[in-house]
């Protein structure tokens, strides 16, 4: 979103791709305003209406640079979110907008988000290969029809981990890989040791022998979870293979005591897992299902190395959703 792009620009990043369709007069104006102090700014398009609005605004902008705005055509390779189907639909759309003077087609872009719901390693690899092949094929068709593109951009952390050929691809956009999370752990592309982000939570109640309650609910862990995630519940509690978070309310994580509930994933930590249940007041580290929304729920990170606090990072982009 533009708000997050502004944070990046304020931090000195001068080549920014907003992988999102920018629609509406106010948002387009803010996008074009970024060009005053950022060397390169681009966004995505997948509709004629959106492309025309961007072009008209760029042409009428009073602020320099008075040159076309770079756009990427968004391609749907199976996620069924935004974007045009790979191949002919993209070519027809490109031919329909190539003469708009206020924009310039810089490339094509996709996000194979459905890869996160893969049930087997073979399915994940198949999706990754299909994503790349569909994009390379579409790029070739565009060039055959006289439409020059510089960039062929693919995304998703899961596919980036397993794809075995990047021929014809100019850019990858994994995001979650910065921290990794339980969803990726479930897919088998990372181990628990690879997961850098965790939420430090305390036991606040032990109301029965088979229930533990932590002070970390949906406002902390988020309720986001991939449909086919093999790990039960809402995150992995490090060193506690006999506990899994069964449900969340806003301020509480209600965990069930069940032998070896998450042992398969806890074992990947490379250390002996605990054989006891934490008592009231004890702290645990919970690796969330999806790191991305969790980042946006906090004002700061505490950075540690070898169990020693070495820094505190402010989440500058928190709440910059528009």
- The verdict on 123 and 217 lying in the same domain is no
Q: Chain-wide mean pLDDT for the chain?
A: 93
What does the alpha-carbon distance between residue 150 and residue 169 come to, in Å, rounded to a whole number? 10
Inside any domain, residue 139: yes
Please say which residue of 135, 153, 174 terminates a domain.
174
Give the strand pairing for 283-287 and 236-237: antiparallel
What are the pLDDT digits (tens) for 189-217? Answer: 999 999 999 999 999 999 999 999 999 99
pLDDT, average across residues 289-316: 95
Cα first-last separation, the chain: 6
- The verdict on 160 and 212 lying in the same domain is no
Inside any domain, residue 14: yes
- The verdict on 191 and 132 lying in the same domain is no
pLDDT for residue 270: 45
pLDDT for residue 232: 92
Give the strand pairing for 211-214 and 199-208: antiparallel
Inside any domain, residue 322: no
pLDDT, average across residues 256-273: 73
- The verdict on 105 and 216 lying in the same domain is no
Higher-scoring residue by pLDDT: 275, 66: 66
Packing angle between helix 25-34 and helix 2-10, nearest 10 degrees? 20
Please say which residue of 174, 209, 228 terminates a domain.
174
Q: What does the DSSP 8-state code read for residue 164?
A: -
Q: What percent of the chain has pLDDT over 70?
A: 96
Q: Which residue range(s) make up the domain with 157? A: 2-174
Closest-CA residue to 105 (of 63, 162, 147)? 147
Residue 241: give its domain's CATH number: 2.40.37.20
Element (H, E) at 158: helix 157-162
What are the pLDDT digits (tens) for 88-115? Answer: 999 999 999 999 999 999 999 999 999 9
Inside any domain, residue 320: no
pLDDT for residue 319: 87
What does the alpha-carbon distance between residue 23 and residue 54 come to, in Å, rounded to a whole number? 8
What are the pLDDT digits (tens) for 269-283? Answer: 444 445 578 999 999
Instruction: Label residue 65 by pLDDT band (50, 70, 90).
Output: low
- Lowest model confidence (mean pLDDT) among 8-22, 119-133, 223-237: 223-237
Inside any domain, residue 179: no
Q: How many domains does the chain have?
A: 2
Inside any domain, residue 117: yes
Please say which residue of 151, 174, 197 terminates a domain.
174
- The verdict on 208 and 266 lying in the same domain is yes
- The verdict on 225 and 292 lying in the same domain is yes
Read off the pTM.
0.91
Residue 160: give its domain's CATH number: 3.20.20.10
- The verdict on 78 and 226 lying in the same domain is no
- The verdict on 111 and 158 lying in the same domain is yes
Closest-CA residue to 164 (of 126, 190, 137)? 126
Residue 141 to residues 63, 165, 172, 261, 315, Cα–Cα distance (Å):
36, 20, 20, 50, 42
pLDDT, average across residues 38-61: 95
- The verdict on 194 and 87 lying in the same domain is no
pLDDT for residue 266: 81
pLDDT, average across residues 164-180: 96
- The verdict on 195 and 299 lying in the same domain is yes
């Amino acid at each position: 979103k533009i708000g997050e792009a502004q944070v990046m620009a304020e931090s000195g990043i001068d080549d920014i791709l907003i992988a999102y369709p920018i629609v509406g007069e106010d948002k387009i104006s803010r996008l074009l305003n970024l060009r005053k102090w950022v060397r390169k700014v681009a966004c995505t398009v997948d509709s004629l209406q959106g492309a025309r609005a961007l072009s008209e605004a760029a042409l009428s902008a009073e602020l320099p640079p008075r040159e076309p705005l770079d756009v990427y055509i968004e391609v749907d390779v199976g996620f069924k979110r935004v974007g045009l189907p790979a191949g002919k639909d993209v070519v027809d759309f490109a031919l329909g907008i190539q003469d708009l003077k206020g924009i310039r087609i810089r490339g094509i872009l996709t996000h194979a988000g459905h890869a996160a719901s893969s049930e087997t390693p073979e399915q994940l690899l198949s999706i990754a290969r299909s994503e790349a092949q569909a994009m390379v094929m579409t790029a070739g068709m565009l060039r055959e029809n006289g439409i020059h593109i510089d960039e062929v951009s693919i995304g998703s952390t899961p596919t980036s981990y397993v794809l075995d050929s990047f021929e014809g691809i100019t850019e990858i956009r994994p995001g979650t890989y910065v921290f990794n999370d339980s969803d990726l752990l479930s897919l088998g592309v990372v181990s628990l040791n690879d997961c850098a982000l965790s939420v430090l939570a305390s036991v606040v109640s032990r109301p029965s022998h088979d229930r533990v309650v932590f002070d970390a609910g949906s406002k902390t862990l988020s309720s986001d979870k991939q449909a086919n995630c093999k790990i039960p519940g809402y995150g992995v509690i490090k060193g506690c293979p006999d506990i899994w978070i069964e449900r969340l309310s806003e301020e509480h994580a209600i965990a069930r005591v069940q032998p070896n509930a998450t042992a398969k994933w806890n074992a990947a930590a490379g250390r002996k897992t605990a054989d006891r249940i934490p008592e009231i007041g004890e702290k645990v580290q919970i690796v969330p299902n999806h790191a991305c929304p969790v980042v946006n729920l906090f004002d700061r990170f505490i950075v540690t190395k070898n169990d020693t606090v070495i820094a505190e990072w402010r989440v500058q982009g928190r709440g910059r959703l528009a």
